[in-house]
Amino acid sequence: MDDLLSIQGDLGGLKQVLTYQDGVLTWKEGENTRSWQEEELETVKLHHYVGSLTINAKLKDGQELVLLRGSQGLARQYQMFAQTINNRLQGKDDRAYAKEVADRCPKCQRYYADPARPICLRCLDRRSLSKRVLGLAPPYLRQIALMILLMLASSLVGLISPFLGGRIFFDEVLDSAGRYAGRIGQVVLAMFLAQLVTLFLSIWQGRVNSRVSARIVFDLKTQVFTAMQRLSLKFYNNQQTGSLMTRVNNDATHLQAFFHDGLPFFIVNSMRLVGIVAVLLAMDWQLALYVLIPVPLIVLGTAKLHPLLWRLYTRRFRALSRLNAVVNDSLGGVRVVKAFGTEHEEIQRFSRNNQRVFAVNREVGQMSSTVFPALSYLMSLGALVIWGVGGSRVLWGDLTFGTLITFTGYLGMLYGPLDFMTRIVDWWSSSMNSAQRIFEVIDSNELLWTPEPGEIVPMPRVKGSIAAQDVTFGYEEGKPVLEDISFTVEPGEMIGIVGRSGAGKSTLINLISRLYDPTAGIIFLDGVDLRYVDQKDLRRQVGMVLQDTFLFRGTVFENIAYGRTDASYEEVVQAARIANAHDFITKLPDGYETVLGQRNVDLSGGEKQRISIARVILHDPEILILDEATASIDTETEQLVQEALERLVRGRTTFAIAHRLSTLRQADRLFVLDRGKLVEVGSHQELLKKRGIYYKLFTTQRDALSHIGVAG
């Protein structure tokens, strides 16, 4: 039996409910009910309007019925409902519905605020978060265990000194009737050796600690960065660069403090507390009880402080992320800033965000500098009680002076661990807050859908046939960029993609290269659903030359060989020759070994573009995507780039977007997009004869260029 799928409308009137189970689609409004068998249905579609949407059913007899109306806030649920039914009608699996269920909190059934971050802040179990953080420890258990053993040994040896310098020295050495009367040198030597051993153990523990902490932060940063690499582009559309940089650097370092300064010291201080309290109780249990009077107040204070600190650390992270984003934007766009003379505005923007960071840091600092000294003062009250009560008992002869001195010595050792325990809420809140953000990245479900291992189709060499069937896609829920796109492209065919700005041209090539998956519909590569094609094979078959050329920091050789690190020097040079790049590369200070970004080496836009073309030529893909590849270069350079592109496209299935429509005349066919729909298909001459949208675009651009030429 199929799972019951159910949704309801929310736009007034009687309550409408739409269900689907066992091949039957049922609509219900009040007492009215109507059902359709699977055999009667052709497809179920979602239609978007201003502020609302509908679910429509198209029947095989040609009728189309409006079944349900809802607000745009229900777009995600409605889309998943329609997609799941269509999958079942086409005999496919129910993974769309499974994904929809996975996007909700299993406890409260609320949708996650951000599907890329499967964290329900309402139901977040901080105890489970703590357990998961502790689950990171096993790879370092041996080193952490050694650290703890060294710290314990150091603490145990450290317990000897107060006893030797207190009871033994005053009651047994200085007293002529004592067991060690007059043996001052021996006792002092024993104290010296105890302190020397403590120093040696502390140095050893510190060296082990430094190695472990460095390894932990290294592994954490690697884990977070690796997780970022496997996430889809949709994840990055919803994130600020500054926020991600903060997670890789700051949050990993904060979590390192959990293992470096937190966990070992917590264990050791806990055991040290137990040991010291046991010694104090053994020496004089009545006097020891006075020491513990402030403890309940300290525990209550730390319990109240934890939620407040958690909120403050969350606010601090957000403020730091925004500040990092501003710095990243300003430095990345420094040419624009200089060109428009907006340095003052950038300083003001930085100052506003820096002020937020300052404010939250001040709040954290003020709280820490107020609460923790107050807790320390509560602890110090125990020492005053000991001096008062213990001193009185010495005068009465009920307590020896050496015992009192020993007691106060151990008391000093007790307050160190107690002070740490009062501040535990500080590092614990900071570490768990950082851990939550790190796990948000690691656990993000914003991935391209992956089939089961047995379903992956290896395609080491493809022919280059591309087909789209009823493809719909949107970057945001309820806002489709492409709707019901269908086409077939034969191997080796060159397709020009044209349309007004925002028509969905770049989005279409993003789907063809599988940087995103369609919200609905399928794209096929040589007849195989693109989602099932082995990702490594797919990436080897697709090459892209984009308008915004990005070159990595490194040599020219490394940039050209980026997609093929095993390429020989001769292969790289040959690719550069085909791309018309060899001549200017040889004139650089170190030729192909010139490091870009150093020694004032700055390439022009055309030179960068030709290096990117050489990179694709060396990659040797069967499917080529050109996205405004000649948009930002001068006419003379464009001719060189165009010659390189003509060599590159030969024998390859090519999708080209160009800002000058005249450059697409040689395309086998042109796809004309308008408002997310494929409205015209044909050759340049065929579309001009139709005198439709393409004709209007072409003539408008031709007249504009002609006018510019006359004016010049």
- Look at phi and psi of residue 492 and say left if phi exceeds 0, alpha if psi is from -120 to 50, else beta: left
SS3 488: strand
Q: Between 494 and 326, name the one with better pLDDT.
A: 494
Query: Residue 499 — pLDDT band, cuts 50, 70, 90?
Result: confident
How high is the mean pLDDT of the chain?
Answer: 76
Highest average pLDDT, of 161-175, 221-235, 469-483, 670-684, comes from 670-684
Average pLDDT value for residue range 513-522:
86
Q: Between 411 and 533, name the one with better pLDDT.
A: 533
Beta-carbon count within 10 A of 316 CB: 20
Task: Flag whether pLDDT at 608 surpasses 60.
Answer: yes
Average pLDDT value for residue range 130-157:
76
Report the distance separating Cα 611 and Cα 582, nearest Å.
9
Give φ, ψ of 448 to 5 degrees: -65, 140
User: Per residue in 304-352, pLDDT tens?
Assistant: 776 777 677 777 767 877 787 777 777 767 766 766 677 788 888 888 8
The pLDDT assigned to 206 comes to: 77
The pLDDT assigned to 99 comes to: 46
The pLDDT assigned to 524 comes to: 92
Token pair 């109780």 is found at: 281
Task: Flag whether pLDDT at 162 surpasses 80.
Answer: no
User: Per residue in 557-596, pLDDT tens?
Assistant: 988 888 788 888 888 888 888 888 888 888 888 888 888 7
CA-closest candidate to residue 543, choices 568, 570, 563: 563
The pLDDT assigned to 280 comes to: 79
Average pLDDT value for residue range 270-291:
79
Q: Between 678 and 339, name the one with better pLDDT.
A: 678
Secondary structure element (H or E) that encloses residue 45, with its range = strand 41-49
- Look at phi and psi of residue 109 and say left if phi exceeds 0, alpha if psi is from -120 to 50, else beta: left
Contact 318, 247 (CB under 8 A): no
- Look at phi and psi of residue 517 and say left if phi exceeds 0, alpha if psi is from -120 to 50, else beta: beta
Contact 681, 672 (CB under 8 A): yes
Query: Residue 267 — pLDDT band, cuts 50, 70, 90?
Result: confident
Query: Residue 114 — pLDDT band, cuts 50, 70, 90?
Result: very low
The pLDDT assigned to 632 comes to: 53
Tokens of 355: 């002020």
Rg (CA), the chain: 36
Residue 274 neighbours by CB under 8 Å, 6+ apart: none
Residue 519 neighbours by CB under 8 Å, 6+ apart: 79, 83, 472, 473, 474, 480
Percent with pLDDT over 90 in the chain: 3
DSSP H stretches of helix in 443-591: 505-512, 535-541, 556-560, 569-578, 582-586
Beta bridge partners of 49: 52
- Whole-number Cα distances in Å, 627 to 54, 463, 671, 675: 35, 22, 14, 19
- Whole-number Cα distances in Å, 79 to 44, 73, 250, 688: 10, 11, 38, 37
Report the distance separating Cα 546 and Cα 528, nearest Å.
26
CA-closest candidate to residue 3, choices 109, 78, 98: 98
- CATH tag, 5-102: 2.30.29.30
Parts of the chain belonging to CATH 3.40.50.300: 454-552+617-711
Report the distance separating Cα 593 and Cα 601, nearest Å.
12
Tokens of 256: 């390192």
Q: Between 226 and 1, name the one with better pLDDT.
A: 226
Beta bridge partners of 681: 671
The pLDDT assigned to 489 comes to: 92
The pLDDT assigned to 101 comes to: 45
Average pLDDT value for residue range 643-647:
73
CA-closest candidate to residue 189, choices 210, 168, 175: 168
User: Per residue in 5-31, pLDDT tens?
Assistant: 777 776 555 577 888 887 888 888 777
SS3 content of the chain, % helix, strand, coil (to 5): 60, 15, 25
The pLDDT assigned to 44 comes to: 84
Give φ, ψ of 351 to 5 degrees: -65, -40
Task: Flag whether pLDDT at 97 surpasses 70.
Answer: no
Pairing of strands 542-546, 623-627: parallel
Report the distance separating Cα 686 and Cα 656, nearest Å.
18
The pLDDT assigned to 332 comes to: 66
For 390, what's the count of Cα atoms within 13 Å in the CB-facing half-sphere? 25
The pLDDT assigned to 467 comes to: 92
The pLDDT assigned to 98 comes to: 45
Q: Between 305 and 682, name the one with better pLDDT.
A: 682
The pLDDT assigned to 393 comes to: 82
The pLDDT assigned to 344 comes to: 82
Pairing of strands 16-21, 5-8: antiparallel
Instruction: Give the domain 454-552+617-711 fold.
Output: Rossmann fold (3.40.50)
Parts of the chain belonging to CATH 1.20.1560.10: 138-442
Report the distance separating Cα 277 and Cα 411, nearest Å.
9
Task: Flag whether pLDDT at 684 surpasses 70.
Answer: yes
User: Per residue in 207-216, pLDDT tens?
Assistant: 887 777 777 7
The pLDDT assigned to 476 comes to: 72
383-396: string of b/e by CB count within 10 Å (b at 16+)?
bebbeeebeebeee
Task: Flag whether pLDDT at 117 surpasses 50.
Answer: no
The pLDDT assigned to 710 comes to: 39
Query: Residue 615 — pLDDT band, cuts 50, 70, 90?
Result: confident
Query: Residue 239 — pLDDT band, cuts 50, 70, 90?
Result: low
Pairing of strands 64-71, 52-59: antiparallel
Q: Between 669 and 502, name the one with better pLDDT.
A: 669
Percent with pLDDT over 70 in the chain: 75
Query: Residue 444 — pLDDT band, cuts 50, 70, 90?
Result: low
The torsion angle over the Cα atoms of residues 154, 160, 161 and 165, rounded to 10 degrees, is 180
The pLDDT assigned to 185 comes to: 76
User: Per residue in 649-662, pLDDT tens?
Assistant: 788 888 988 777 77
Pairing of strands 520-525, 669-674: unpaired
User: Per residue in 399-434, pLDDT tens?
Assistant: 787 777 777 777 777 767 766 766 666 667 667 767
The pLDDT assigned to 223 comes to: 76
Q: Which of 10-19, 146-155, 232-241 has the lowest mean pLDDT?
A: 232-241
**Secondary-structure class of domain 138-442 per CATH:** mainly alpha
User: Per residue in 346-382, pLDDT tens?
Assistant: 888 888 888 888 888 888 778 777 777 777 777 667 7
The pLDDT assigned to 488 comes to: 92
The vertex-370 CA angle with 367 and 372, nearest 5°, equals 95
Report the distance separating Cα 462 and Cα 464, nearest Å.
6
Q: Between 457 and 21, name the one with better pLDDT.
A: 457
Average pLDDT value for residue range 617-629:
82
